[in-house]
Structure 1
Amino acid sequence: MEAPPDNDVLWARSLHYAHGETPALAGVSVGVREGEILAVTGPRGSGKTTLLRCLAGQLAPQSGEVWFNSAPVHTLGPGGRERLRRDRFGWIDTEPQLVPELTGWENAALPLLLRGTPHRTAKTAALEWLDRLDVGEAARKRPSAMLQAQRQRIAIARALTSEPSVLFADEPSAPLHRADRAHVLRTLTTAARSHNITVVLATHDAEVAALADRTVALVDGRRVGAIPNPDKEGRAECSLSV
């Protein structure tokens, strides 16, 4: 088993995964450096979500390797992968998955509360992120009383509140209007850079991908390229061949 490169916080080699008889990943390899924002692009059905879920430990690849901070993820059992997702990773889904019984700030604070963070500390951190995302007015509302855009911003705040080592974002701006999308994505990328959070972002939107340092494209579950995005000085290429 080959160890990953020292400068990659997240590294995967020859990932294969199929949904039933339908191949989703066919030998995809990728490396991501600490603090880098990587966009994974491709048409719908190209394998973007499956790749993110394998990297995040949500899915165990049927073959291939995934490493985080030079430790293997692909050999962890369900409990180990769950702890990794809780303590080190953040996830933003295409649709907000909020707990309906909890208020906005409670949903945003949930990862910290699950870690045992004191209630007041978790609430303060959650409220700060809700304000940064211009959704502080929904702090005491439950999801059923919110607009779709508010629910998605709270889901993004929840992912950022715990300051994860790696943040996975699967089409995070898809349910937002254009103006909301621009603001939320600027906040997300600025937060990632200021807190040195590594981001793996799945998108089919060229404008969203342009915010990243580098773009990796998938077609039919295969990697077809890695392109440094323009105007991202100091971000070196760290691609692996397929």
Structure 2
Amino acid sequence: MAAPPDNDVLWARSLHHAHRGSPALVGVSLGVREGEILSVQGPRGCGKTTLLRCLSGQLVADEGEVWFNGAPVHTLPALHRERLRREHFAWIGAEPTLVPELTAWENAALPLLLRGVPHRAAKTTALEWLDRLDVGPVARTRPHALTQAQRQRTATARALVAEPAVLFADEPTAALHSAEAAQLLRTVLAAARSHRITVLLASYDPDVAALADRTIPLVDGRRTGSVTAEVEGRAECSLSV
């Protein structure tokens, strides 16, 4: 079993996975460098979510390898993969999954509290990220009283608060209006660039893919090529947060 290249923070080889006998991934390989923003682009049902779940250790592929910082992920026991996700990865989905009993800042602080960060320090950091994402004024509000956009921004703050090595963003703006979606995405990618966070961004929208450094198209679970984004697209998100 050959190790991945030294400059790839995340690397996968020949991933195959099927759902109830139907192929979801067919021989997908890729490498992602530290700090790179990689878009996985394709229509709904093409395997984007399955690929991100395999790369993040949520799902073990039927065949193939996944490596993080030169160490295999696909051979780890479930508890070790859970620890890897908690300590090094973060996830933003299309729908925010917030704890309803907690306020916005408490939801955002959860990753830090789970790592044992003192309560006051976790709260301070969570409030800072909520401010960066323009939801600071609702930090003490519970999810049921937030708008859809505010809930998604709170979930985004939760993903970024611990400055993960890799951020997996699976259609993170799918439920938002176009203007709100564009603003949130620019903020997320700017924060990722300023903190050297590697991002895997799944989207069916070619305008979203244009903001990434590279795009990998998927069709019916197969990788069909790689496209380097235009310089203008990269520069649009290069402002620090």
* TM-score, reference length from structure 1: 0.95
Q: CA-atom RMSD, angstroms?
A: 1.4
Which ranges in structure 1 are unaligned for 5 or more consecutive residues? 235-242
C-alpha displacement of 1:233: 10
Distance 2:3 2:85 in 1: 21
C-alpha displacement of 1:11: 0.1
Find the counterpart in structure 1 of residue 6 from structure 2. Answer: 6
Give the conservation status (yes or no) of the 8 Å contact 1:213–1:232: no
Tell me which amino acid in the other structure corresponds to 1:10: L
Find the counterpart in structure 2 of residue 30 from structure 1. Answer: 30
Distance 2:45 2:152 in 1: 23
C-alpha displacement of 1:207: 1.1
Cα deviation code 1:52-96 (max 9, x no counterpart): 000000001111000000000000010000000000001001100
Question: How do 1:188-203 and structure 2 match up within 5 A?
Answer: 188-203=188-203
C-alpha displacement of 1:174: 0.9
Give the conservation status (yes or no) of the 8 Å contact 2:211–2:233: no
Question: How do 1:223-242 and structure 2 match up within 5 A?
Answer: 223-231=223-231
| % identity of equivalent residues | 71
Equivalent residue of 2:83, what SS?
helix
Find the counterpart in structure 2 of residue 52 from structure 1. Answer: 52
Find the counterpart in structure 1 of residue 65 from structure 2. Answer: 65
How many pairs does the alignment contain? 235
* Alpha carbons of structure 1 residues 28 and 232: separation in structure 2 relative to 1, 3 Å: farther
Distance 1:137 1:24 in 2: 42
1:97 partnered with 2:101: no
Distance 2:98 2:104 in 1: 9
Tell me which amino acid in the other structure corresponds to 1:64: G
Question: How do 1:71-110 and structure 2 match up within 5 A?
Answer: 71-110=71-110
Distance 2:228 2:142 in 1: 41
Tell me which amino acid in the other structure corresponds to 1:23: P
C-alpha displacement of 1:50: 0.2
Find the counterpart in structure 2 of residue 214 from structure 1. Answer: 214
Question: How do 1:125-204 and structure 2 match up within 5 A?
Answer: 125-204=125-204
Find the counterpart in structure 2 of residue 16 from structure 1. Answer: 16
Give the conservation status (yes or no) of the 8 Å contact 2:92–2:169: yes
Distance 2:175 2:105 in 1: 20
Distance 1:89 1:205 in 2: 24
Greater than 6 Å deviation, 4+ residue runs:
none
* TM-score, reference length from structure 2: 0.95
* Alpha carbons of structure 1 residues 141 and 233: separation in structure 2 relative to 1, 3 Å: closer
Equivalent residue of 2:226, what SS?
strand
Tell me which amino acid in the other structure corresponds to 1:73: V
Distance 2:43 2:233 in 1: 28
